[in-house]
Amino acid sequence: MENGADLPRRIGVYAVERELGAGGMGKVYLARSPGGRAVAVKVVRSELAADPHFRERFRAEVEAARRVGGFHTAPVVDADPDAESPWLATAYVPGPTLAELVERHGPLDEERLRSLGAALAEALHAVHACGLVHRDLKPGNIIMADDGPRVLDFGIARAVEATRLTATGAAFGTPGYLAPEQARGDRVTGAADVFAFGAVLVAAAGGSAFGAGTPMGLMYRAVHEPADLSALPEGLRVLVAACLAKDPADRPAPETLLASLGPDPEPVPDTNTVALAAPERPRAVPPVPALAPDVPGRGDEPLRPAASRKPRVITLLIVAAAVASALAGGLFALRGQGDDKKSGSPPATASDSRRTTPRASAPPSEPSSPRPGAVPKDRVTVVVSADSEESWISAKGHDGRSLFDGRLESGETKEFTDKRRIELVLGDASAVHLVVNGKEIPNEFTPGQVERLVYDRGD
**Of 78, 109, 136, 228, catalytic:** 136
**Tell me, what's the pLDDT at 238?**
96
**Tell me, what's the pLDDT at 54?**
80
pLDDT per residue, tens digit, the chain (459 aa), is 444 557 899 999 999 999 988 766 788 999 999 999 999 998 988 877 787 778 887 887 788 778 777 688 888 899 998 899 899 898 998 999 999 999 999 999 999 999 999 999 999 998 888 878 888 899 998 999 988 999 987 645 554 444 443 333 344 578 899 999 988 878 889 999 999 999 999 999 999 999 988 788 888 899 999 999 999 999 999 999 999 999 999 999 999 999 999 766 665 554 343 333 333 333 333 333 333 333 333 333 333 333 333 334 334 334 444 444 444 444 344 344 444 444 443 333 333 333 333 333 333 334 444 444 455 668 899 999 988 766 788 888 988 888 988 888 888 899 999 988 898 888 778 888 899 988 888 887 777 667 778 888 865
3-state secondary structure the chain: CCCCCCCCCEECCEEEEEEEEECCCEEEEEEECCCCCEEEEEEECHHHHCCHHHHHHHHHHHHHHCCCCCCCECCEEEEECCCCCCEEEEECCCCCEHHHHHHHHCCCCHHHHHHHHHHHHHHHHHHHHCCCCCCCCCHHHEEEECCEEEECCCCHHHHHHHHHCCCCECCCCCCCCCCHHHHHCCCCCCHHHHHHHHHHHHHHCCCCCCCCCCHHHHHHHHHHCCCCCCCCCHHHHHHHHHHCCCCHHHCCCHHHHHHHHCCCCCCCCHHHHHHHCCCCCCCCCCCCCCCCCCCCCCCCCCCCCCCCHHHHHHHHHHHHHHHHHHHHHHHHHHHHHHHHHHHCCCCCCHHHHHCCCCCCCCCCCCCCCCCCCCCCCCCEEEEEEECCCCEEEEEECCCCCEEEEEEECCCCEEEEEECCEEEEEECCHHHEEEEECCEEECCCCCCCCCEEEEEECCC
Does residue 104 sit in the same domain as residue 198? yes
Residue 292 domain flag: no
Q: How many domains does the chain have?
A: 3
399 is catalytic: no
CA distance 146 to 348: 86
Which domain covers residue 37, as residue numbers?
A: 10-91
Residue 351 domain flag: no
Are 450 and 170 within 8 A, CB to CB? Answer: yes
CA distance 14 to 10: 5
CA distance 166 to 183: 16
**Tell me, what's the pLDDT at 453?**
86
Does residue 66 sit in the same domain as residue 136? no
* Domain closes at, from 221, 246, 276: 276
Are 396 and 420 within 8 A, CB to CB? Answer: no
Does residue 137 sit in the same domain as residue 190? yes
Does residue 63 sit in the same domain as residue 131? no
Does residue 269 sit in the same domain as residue 144? yes
**Tell me, what's the pLDDT at 15?**
96
Which residues neighbour 160 within 8 Å (Cβ) at sequence distance 6 or greater?
24, 25, 48, 54, 172
Helix 254-261 with 191-204: angle, nearest 10 deg: 30
Residue 304 domain flag: no
* Domain closes at, from 223, 254, 276: 276
CA distances to 377, 387, 435, 440, 447 from 443, rounded to whole Å, are 24, 11, 11, 9, 10
* Residue 303: how many other CB atoms lie within 10 Å: 7
Q: Supply the CATH number for residue 20's domain.
A: 3.30.200.20
**Tell me, what's the pLDDT at 106?**
97
CA distance 31 to 15: 5
**Tell me, what's the pLDDT at 392?**
82
Q: Supply the CATH number for residue 237's domain.
A: 1.10.510.10
CA distance 332 to 348: 12
Does residue 206 sit in the same domain as residue 222? yes
Does residue 32 sit in the same domain as residue 114? no
Does residue 126 sit in the same domain as residue 184? yes
Are 226 and 233 within 8 A, CB to CB? Answer: no
Cis omega (within 30 of 0) for bond into 286 = yes
Does residue 138 sit in the same domain as residue 237? yes
* Domain closes at, from 254, 276, 298: 276
Reported pTM: 0.64
Residue 289: which of 235, 234, 238, 251 has the closest Cα? 251
Does residue 422 sit in the same domain as residue 449? yes
Which residues neighbour 354 within 8 Å (Cβ) at sequence distance 6 or greater?
none
Residue 238 domain flag: yes
Does residue 184 sit in the same domain as residue 271? yes
Does residue 170 sit in the same domain as residue 251? yes
Residue 208 domain flag: yes
